[in-house]
Chain A
Amino acid sequence: MGGAILQRGGGLALYAAVARGGFRRYVTYRTATAAGVFTNTVFGFIIAFTYQALWDERPQLGGYDQAQALTFVWVGQALLATVSLVVGGGLDELQERIRNGDIAVDLYRPADLQLWWLAADLGRAACQLLGRGVLPMAVGALAFDLALPAAPGLWAAFLVSVVLAVTVSFGLRYLVALTAFWLLDSAGVAVLSGLAAMFFSGMLLPLRAFPDGFGEVVRMLPWASVLQVPADVLLGRYQGAAVLGALGFQAGWAAVLLAVGRLVQSAATRKVVVQGG
């Protein structure tokens, strides 16, 4: 099925070009990037100090020592913009195009809507990983004693995990954006989904620090793929083949969410095509 969808558009080369465009586009937002780096760094310090106090009281909370907990904080800040946890990222624009009817223009083009936006979002994420991820992480590493791995293999696995995290996050945000086909104003859904993502991804507190039963359930949800899993991969919580299992967990959610997105997309298209905008 994937091949057929790809061929309907301009093929892989088209989506690669879309991803490059998404990247270049975010390069132009220099002021926003600088402001974002500043915000992420400040919040990194605030949360890091809070965690220091918490881990002084409860050493080994969630099975992390203090250095690992602090690393978790800075990984979270570095990935915040990349996985687009709080704000909708580039998909706010999709939502707006659906709302004002510009989506009609997108529908008559010989390209797949979901793949187009996924490609653009991966481009955006790559730009924000470099622009808004590296610097806060470096500052965090200088200011605190972090538990960053030396093994290049772990870093490689981490990168793969981040790509999957972005894809899962895209899958969630794409569904939120598509609600605009049915709701006049889907801003409420976006806020709700942002809050859920914040809490269930581990951004506020690592999911392993949650009480047993609840924690186990939460770690099975798609949001866990967005931050908890990449952070644990980097911290070396998975040994050997377990790393593949973690990446498989992310890939599974990515596949499920993209498939659901396709179903909703075809229902939305049918609605528009049959009933008008």
Chain B
Amino acid sequence: MTADQVDGQVDGNGPEFIALEGVEKVFRVRRKAGRLRRVKQEVRAVDGIGFRIGRGEMVGYIGPNGAGKSTTIKMLTGILVPSGGRIRVAGIDPSKERTRLARRMGVVFGQRTTLWWDLPLKDSYELVRRMYRVPHDTYRKNLDRCVELLDLGPLLDAPVRQLSLGQRMRGDIAAALLHDPEVLYLDEPTIGLDVISKARVREFLREVNATLGTTVLLTTHDLTDIEQLCRRVMVIDHGRLMYDGALDGLHGIGGSERTLVVDLERELPPIEGVPGARTVKVEGPRQWLAFPATQSAAPVVAAVAERWPLVDLSVREPDIEDVIARMYTRSAPKPRTPEAR
């Protein structure tokens, strides 16, 4: 038995695929202090994070800008060395054996591309095939699946520079999957995409996770990504894990609220007596009702429609910054990490 198996069963074959223990990343930056003086300052981008992800899990990793999400992903891929703590991915220490691990993982950075700018998309795939030494059959099978599910057929011969952001993103995701990676890291895969492209990317990721059992860790600013894809979500802020569990639980803990916006026929006094909801704002015929995010919108809508002259309505989801801000004020002293999966 190896040491890894003793202290965590993280040999890449067991249920635990990714394991972090007390991981830290401290950057030293120089700040201006006066005309010539520079003060060295420590920035703790990641401040003691620990979590485990099982093989085949699909986990959302969210947090405000600068929370430490990308830093965590860079440490998982091995291009950043942690300042402290311990990381194992498939039993491998990523920063020590980056190249060996590289063959087993796929990475997509929403704002960066691995594709060759001036050449047709398929040329980039050909390079991926050689770089990862993908056997011909596997390559063919994977490419066909990506082409079909991501609708890449018409794009294969187009130079990458001519692709739209959504097309390029789909192209990049396919490039990350051609070598059958066991784990896929996605950093903001839907950033800047339109609704249709987002839906297509999500559908594809769900399919890959379900049929191939690929472990997926994705960061995002779009709560809808998480809602539609991940049963488990981890929230990071100021480099610390604030929450690790189901999305519903996150709403519960944050006490976050959804908002029902109703347009009435005419200006009326604030709506009252709707169970579970309270009116938070009135502007002419339009009123805003807040209700707990864990609750269904249907009974609220029904109650309003029954007694008020309803013309139109929409439901607004709480946004991620809001949820985190609430959670932060409620549980500021100690980070909460329920064991729920």
Residue of B81, B107, B131 near A111 (CB, 8 A) is B131
Q: Tell me the nearest residue of chain B to A13, going by C-beta.
A: B130
Q: Is the CB of B114 within 8 A of A105?
A: yes
Q: How far is the CA of A102 from the CA of B116 in the complex (A)?
A: 13
Residue of A25, A107, A272 near B118 (CB, 8 A) is A25
Q: A9-B131, A13-B130 are in contact. Are A273 and B95 (CB under 8 A)?
A: yes
> Which of A21, A101, A108 is most buried by chain B, counting CB atoms within 10 A of its CB?
A108
Q: A28-B159, A110-B99, A273-B81 are in contact. Are A105 and B112 (CB under 8 A)?
A: yes
Q: Is the CB of A24 within 8 A of B80?
A: no
Q: Label chain A's interface by main secondary structure.
A: helix
Q: Is the CB of A14 within 8 A of B130?
A: yes
A104 lies within 8 A of chain B by Cβ: yes
- List residues of A (1-51) whose CB comes within 8 Å of B's CBs: 8-11, 13-14, 17-18, 21, 24-25, 28-29
Which residues of chain A have C-beta atoms less than 8 A from B114's C-beta? 105, 109
Q: Tell me the nearest residue of chain A to B128, going by C-beta.
A: A109
B32 lies within 8 A of chain A by Cβ: no
- List residues of B (70-108) whose CB comes within 8 Å of A's CBs: 71, 74, 77-81, 95, 98-99, 102-103, 105, 107
- List residues of A (218-276) whose CB comes within 8 Å of B's CBs: 272-276
What's the tally of chain A residues with a CB closer than 8 Å to chain B? 27
Residue of B25, B28, B107, B133 near A108 (CB, 8 A) is B107
What's the tally of chain B residues with a CB closer than 8 Å to chain A? 33
Q: Is the CB of A110 within 8 A of B102?
A: yes
Residue of B71, B79, B126, B132 near A107 (CB, 8 A) is B79
Q: A102-B112, A104-B112 are in contact. Are A17 and B127 (CB under 8 A)?
A: yes
B279 lies within 8 A of chain A by Cβ: no
Which residues of chain A have C-beta atoms less than 8 A from B25's C-beta? 276
Which residues of chain A have C-beta atoms less than 8 A from B113's C-beta? 102, 105
Which residues of chain A have C-beta atoms less than 8 A from B119's C-beta? 21, 24-25, 28
Against A, the Cβ 8 Å flags (1 = close, 0 = not) of B109-146 are 10011101011000100110011110000000000000
Against B, the Cβ 8 Å flags (1 = close, 0 = not) of A45-88 are 00000000000000000000000000000000000000000000
Which residues of chain A have C-beta atoms less than 8 A from B99's C-beta? 8, 110
B308 lies within 8 A of chain A by Cβ: no
Which residues of chain A have C-beta atoms less than 8 A from B102's C-beta? 108-110
Which residues of chain A have C-beta atoms less than 8 A from B126's C-beta? 17
Q: Is the CB of A17 within 8 A of B130?
A: yes
Q: Is the CB of A110 within 8 A of B81?
A: no
Which residues of chain A have C-beta atoms less than 8 A from B79's C-beta? 104, 107-108, 272-273
Q: How far is the CA of A1 from the CA of B81 in the complex (A)?
A: 25
Q: How far is the CB of A32 from chain B (nearest CB, A)?
A: 11
Q: Is the CB of B131 within 8 A of A14?
A: yes
Q: How far is the CA of A184 from the CA of B46 in the complex (A)?
A: 25
Q: How far is the CA of A17 from the CA of B131 in the complex (A)?
A: 10
Which residues of chain A have C-beta atoms less than 8 A from B51's C-beta? none
Residue of A21, A107, A108 near B127 (CB, 8 A) is A21
Q: Is the CB of A10 within 8 A of B118?
A: no
23 contacts between A and B (CB under 8 A): A8-B99, A9-B131, A10-B131, A11-B130, A13-B130, A14-B130, A17-B126, A17-B130, A21-B123, A24-B123, A25-B116, A25-B119, A29-B118, A102-B112, A104-B74, A107-B79, A108-B77, A108-B105, A109-B102, A110-B132, A273-B95, A275-B27, A276-B45
